[in-house]
C-alpha cells in the first residue's frame, strides 16, 4: 500500500503518470499480473519457495482496505500532536505551531485520481476529516471509522503493526538502526502512542555485488532480486552463503569468476560428516545437490552446445561418469552465469583454423603446435598422458638452465587462442583427454617448412 515514488530506470517513462498511487494500484509494466506490486511480490514469493522458506504473507493493501486498522488510525489521529512531537525530536529543522496544528499522521489516497497528493484538514467531528487533492482538485470528506483509502505513514505504521501482530523480534537493514533512524523513532511511537514494547531488532549489514557494475538500488535499476541470484546459484549454495555470514558483517555476493570458489567450498563442506552448521541449515527437504564442479560445467557447456550426451561422454572420459540428471540443474546455472555475467568466459571452439595467427608464431612455437598435433592424432589419450605432454613439449630443445615456466605459459596461451580465440581456457590435460578429438583436432593441424 506504499506509494509509487519514482520510475525506476528499467520501467517505461510514461509510468510517471502513476507516481503517487499505491503500488498495488499501478499497472504491471510487463502486463502479466494485476498490478506492479503483485508482479514483483509474486516473483519474490516464488523465489522464497524455491529456497525452501515458508512464510505467511500479509497483504497490506487488503488489510487496510478491509478496515482492519481503522481503530488504530483513529487512535493515531487522536494523538496526532503527540506523534508530531516525537517526530520533531529527531528532526534537525525547527517546527512551528502552525505545522503542529495541521499535522495528521495519515496518507490519504484521493477518491478521484487515486494519488496521495492530498491536504487534510479537520471537521467538527473527531472521526471525520476533509481533504483537497492538489493533483485533480477534488474536495472530499472521509469518516476514519470506515475509510478504506487511508494508511499510516511508515514510522507510525511500523509501530502500529508491531502491536497488531505482537512482534517481539524483527531483523532489518542497518540503516534503520542508526541514531534517529526508523527503528528508534518507531520505538518511541510504539511505547508512547500505542503502549507497546518495541521488538528486539537485529540489524543486517549491507550486501554488495561483486561482478556487477554500479551501486545496487531500485531506482538505478542496478539490483539483484532473489530470483536473479537463483538463476546462477543453486538454492542450497545461496542459502549457505548467507548462513555462514554474521548479520553484522558486510559481504559481496559473487557474480564474477569467484563463483567457482563459492561452489567448490559448498561442495567440500557438503561432503563432510557431520555437516557444518551453515550447511545443515541450508539443506532443503527433498533435494540433494550433486558435487559436479561448476567450473567444469562452465568450461564445457559452450563446447557441447546443449548436447547432454556429449557432456556425459566427457565426464566418463574424465573418470566421473555423471548422468545428465545429476548435472542438468547446475549446468543450467552455469549457462545462465555465462550469459548474464561472464560472456567473455564462454568457450566455443573455433569454426575454422587460424592460419594467420599460426604463421605469426616463432619457429619454435610452430614446432610446439606440430608436436602437439602429432601426439593427439595418434590416439585418444588419457588425462595423465595429455597433462604430461602439454608440459613436456615446451621443454624440448631448451638449454639446461632455461626457466621453463614462461615457455609453458606461452604454449598454453597459443593453444587457447587456436582452439577458442582466447588467452585462457580449461585445463588442457582434462580437455584433450575428455573431449573427442574430432571436435578440435583440425584446429591444430599445421605443418612447417
Question: In this predicted model, what pLDDT tens digit does every residue of 96-114 receive, in sequence order?
Answer: 999 999 999 999 999 999 9
Of 324, 344, 364, the position where a domain reaches its end is 344
Statement: residue 217 has pLDDT above 60: no
Let me know whether 326 and 366 are in one domain: no
Q: Which pLDDT does position 448 carry in this prediction?
A: 76
**In which band, very low, low, confident or very high, does the pLDDT at 369 lie, cut at 50, 70 and 90?**
very high
State whether 373 and 434 are in the same domain.
Answer: yes
- One domain, residues 235 and 337: yes
Cell output for 263: 561452489
Tell me the mean pLDDT in the region 257-279: 94
Residue of 312, 209, 286 lying closest to 253 (CA atoms):
209
Grid coordinates given for 405 = 615456466
Interior CA angle at 352 toward 348 and 356, to 5°? 110
Can you give the pLDDT at residue 283? Answer: 94
Phi/psi region, residue 226 (left: phi>0; alpha: psi -120 to 50; beta: rest), is alpha
Q: Do 406 and 335 reside in the same domain of the chain? A: no
In DSSP terms, 122 is beta-bridged to: 129
Cα dihedral 108/111/113/119 (nearest 10) = -40
Structural domain boundaries enclosing 285: 209-344
332 and 402, same domain (yes or no): no
- 41-55, 129-143, 210-224, 407-421, range with the lowest pLDDT: 210-224
- Give the pLDDT confidence score for residue 220 in this predicted structure: 54
Q: Give yes or no: residues 213 and 340 share one domain.
A: yes
Confidence tier at 211 by pLDDT (50, 70, 90): confident
Q: How far apart are CA 338 and CA 255, in angstroms?
A: 10
Average pLDDT over the chain, rounded to an integer:
93
DSSP annotation of 251: E
Least confident piece of the model among 125-129, 181-185, 228-232, 289-293: 125-129
Q: Do 393 and 307 sit in the same domain of this protein?
A: no
How confident is the model over 13-63, as pLDDT tens digits? 999 999 999 999 999 999 999 999 999 999 999 999 999 999 999 999 999
Amino acid at each position: 500500500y506504499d506509494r509509487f515514488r519514482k520510475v525506476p530506470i528499467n520501467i517505461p517513462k510514461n509510468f510517471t503518470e502513476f507516481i503517487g498511487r499505491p503500488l498495488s494500484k499501478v499497472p504491471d509494466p510487463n502486463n502479466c499480473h494485476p498490478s506492479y506490486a503483485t508482479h514483483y511480490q509474486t516473483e519474490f514469493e516464488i523465489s522464497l519457495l524455491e529456497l525452501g522458506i515458508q512464510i505467511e504473507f500479509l497483504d497490506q493493501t487488503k488489510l487496510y482496505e478491509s478496515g482492519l486498522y481503522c481503530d488504530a488510525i483513529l487512535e493515531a489521529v487522536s494523538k496526532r500532536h503527540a506523534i508530531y512531537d516525537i517526530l520533531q525530536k529527531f528532526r534537525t529543522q525547527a517546527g512551528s505551531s502552525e505545522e503542529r496544528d495541521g499535522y495528521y499522521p495519515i496518507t490519504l489516497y484521493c477518491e478521484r485520481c487515486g494519488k496521495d497528493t492530498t491536504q487534510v484538514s479537520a471537521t467538527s467531528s473527531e472521526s471525520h476529516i476533509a481533504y483537497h487533492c492538489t493533483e485533480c482538485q477534488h474536495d472530499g470528506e472521509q469518516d476514519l471509522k470506515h475509510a478504506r483509502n487511508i494508511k499510516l505513514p511508515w514510522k507510525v505504521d511500523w509501530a502500529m503493526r508491531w502491536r497488531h501482530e505482537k512482534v517481539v523480534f524483527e531483523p532489518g537493514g542497518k540503516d534503520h538502526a542508526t541514531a534517529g533512524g526508523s527503528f528508534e523513532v518507531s520505538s518511541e511511537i510504539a511505547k508512547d502512542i500505542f503502549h507497546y514494547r518495541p521488538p528486539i531488532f537485529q540489524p543486517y549489514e549491507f550486501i554488495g555485488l561483486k561482478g556487477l557494475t554500479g551501486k545496487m538500488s531500485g531506482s538505478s535499476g542496478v539490483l539483484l532480486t532473489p530470483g536473479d541470484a537463483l538463476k546462477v546459484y543453486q538454492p542450497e549454495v545461496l542459502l549457505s552463503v548467507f548462513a555462514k555470514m554474521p548479520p553484522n558483517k558486510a559481504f559481496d555476493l559473487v557474480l564474477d569468476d569467484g563463483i567457482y570458489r563459492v561452489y567448490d567450498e559448498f561442495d567440500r563442506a557438503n561432503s563432510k560428516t557431520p555437516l557444518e552448521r551453515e550447511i545443515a541449515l541450508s539443506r532443503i527437504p527433498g533435494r540433494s545437490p550433486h558435487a559436479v564442479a561448476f567450473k567444469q560445467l562452465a568450461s564445457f557447456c559452450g563446447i557441447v552446445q546443449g548436447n547432454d550426451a556429449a557432456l556425459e561422454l566427457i565426464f566418463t572420459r574424465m573418470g566421473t561418469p555423471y548422468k545428465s540428471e545429476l548435472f542438468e540443474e547446475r549446468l543450467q546455472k552455469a549457462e545462465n552465469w555465462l550469459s548474464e555475467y561472464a560472456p567473455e568466459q564462454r568457450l566455443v571452439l573455433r569454426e575454422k583454423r587460424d592460419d594467420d595467427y599460426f604463421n605469426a608464431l616463432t619457429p619454435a612455437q610452430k614446432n610446439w603446435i606440430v608436436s602437439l598435433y602429432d601426439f593427439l592424432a595418434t590416439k585418444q589419450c588419457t588425462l595423465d598422458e595429455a597433462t604430461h605432454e602439454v608440459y613436456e613439449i615446451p621443454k624440448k630443445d631448451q638449454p639446461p638452465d632455461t626457466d621453463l615456466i614462461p615457455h609453458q605459459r606461452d604454449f598454453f596461451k597459443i593453444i587457447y587462442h587456436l582452439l577458442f580465440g582466447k588467452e585462457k581456457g580449461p585445463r588442457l590435460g582434462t580437455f584433450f583427454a575428455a573431449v573427442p578429438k574430432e571436435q578440435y583436432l583440425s584446429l591444430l593441424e599445421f605443418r612447417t617448412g
